[in-house]
Amino acid sequence: MTAIRGIAILGTGAVLPRSKVTAGDVDARVGKWAGWTRQRIGVIDRYFCADESQIDLAVAAANQALAAAGCLAEEIDVVVAAAAVPYQPIPATAPLIQRRLGIPEGRCAAFDVNSTCLSFVTALDMLASHIALGRYRRGLIVSAEVASRGLPWDERPEVAALFGDGGAAAVVGTGAGNQGIVAARLETYPSGYEDCELAAGGTRFDFNRQPAEFAGHSLFRMDGKALFRRTLEQFDGFLDRLLGECGWTREDVDVVVPHQASPGALHHLIRRCGFRRERIIDIITRQGNQIAASLPSALHEARIAGHLRSGAKALLLGTSAGISLGGLALIA
C-alpha cells in the first residue's frame, strides 16, 4: 500500500452513558456467586444506556472531538458513521448525526461504514485517502454503539457480561508532511463467518413470514472459543505482515491502540505479540467491549494521556466478525 502522508487526527472525543453496571450487578443479574464476573470475565465496569440513544452518544462524542480540533461543525465536509449496529437499517445513521450537529442541509456528505468492530479503522483508512486526494478537507468519524440492547443474558451470560455501550469520534484533516498513515492492512477469513453474528434485522429472516426465526436471531451470538482460536492462528502472521509493510519493528512502536475485545484478548496481545505492556492502551476492564466504539475510545484515551505526541508511531489493531483482522500504522 502507498503511504498517505500529510493527514492528521485533529481531535478526538469519547463518552459513556450515565448508568454504570458493575461486576457485582452482573453477578446478581445472572444468578452467579459474588465475584464470578470479575474472576471469569475480567470486566469490572461497563455502562448501559437508560434514557440515552445511540445518536445522543454519537453527537456528544462528536462535539468533544470538534472542540478538541478547534473546528466548527459546519466546517466538516463529510460525516462517517462507523458502527456495527446502526440506529435503524434505512436511512443510514450519518445523516441523522449531521442533522443533530446542526450542519446545514447540503453542506457535507454523510454515509455509514460497517466492518463491525473494525469500522473505525476502515473509515479512517478510507477518509484519509479522500482527504489526500483533495475531495474533502475535514472529516468526522463517529462510532457509537448500544450493545446492551441485544445481549444473550439467559443463554450466554459469559458473553453478555463482556459488553458495554459508548461513543467515540475523531476529526481528521490535513497535517504536517510526515504525519499520516504509513501502512494499512485488512485480512478476512470468512470460514469464521458464523462465529460472531446478530442475524436478524436484515434480509435473512422475513419478519412477517418467519416471526419465530426473526425473534430467535435478534440477540447477539458469539462462539468465543472458536473466535479466539481462529484469531490466534492468524494474528501473529498478520502483525508481521503489517509491520513489514511499514518497515517498523515492535520496538519502534510508541503506542498500540487495540480493539478492546476482552481482557483475555489483550493479555494475548501483550504475551504473544512482543509489545511492552505500558505501550498498550487497555480500557476493557473499565468499559467493556463497546464493539466499533472500543478502538476510537482507546484512541481518545491515548491522546489525552499524551501518547499521541507529534511524531509518535502508533498501531491501531483489531479483529472483527467475519472474521477480519485489521490494522493501521500511523505517525501522529
For the chain, what percent of residues have pLDDT higher than 90?
A: 76
Active-site residue (options: 117, 196, 246, 273): 117
Tell me the domains of the chain and their CATH numbers: 4-177 (3.40.47.10), 181-331 (3.40.47.10)
pTM for the model? 0.95
Active-site residue, 117 included: yes
pLDDT tens for each residue of 158-188 = 999 999 999 999 999 998 888 999 999 999 9
Peptide bond into 323 cis (omega under 30): yes
For the chain, what percent of residues have pLDDT higher than 70?
A: 100
pLDDT tens for each residue of 214-229 = 888 877 787 777 877 8
Active-site residue (options: 108, 130, 246, 289): 289
Active-site residue, 208 included: no
pLDDT tens for each residue of 36-90 = 999 999 999 999 999 999 999 999 999 999 999 999 999 999 999 999 999 999 9
Q: What is the 3-state secondary structure (H, E, C) of 116-153?
A: HHHHHHHHHHHHHHHHHCCCCCEEEEEEEECHHHHCCC
Question: How many degrees, rounded to 5, is the angle at CA 241 between CA 237 and CA 245?
Answer: 170
Active-site residue, 259 included: yes
24-33, 188-197, 301-310, 315-324: least confident range: 188-197
Kindly report the average pLDDT of the chain as a whole number.
93
Farthest CA pair distance, the chain:
57
pLDDT at 1 over 70: no
**Amino acid identity, residue 6?**
G
More confident: 68 or 3: 68
Active-site residue (options: 259, 273, 300, 307): 259
pLDDT at 235 over 80: yes
Phi-psi region of 134 (alpha: psi -120 to 50; beta: other; left: phi over 0): left
Q: What is the mean pLDDT of residues 273-301?
A: 95
Spatial contact of 220 and 150, defined as CB atoms under 8 Å apart: yes
pLDDT in the model for residue 203? 82
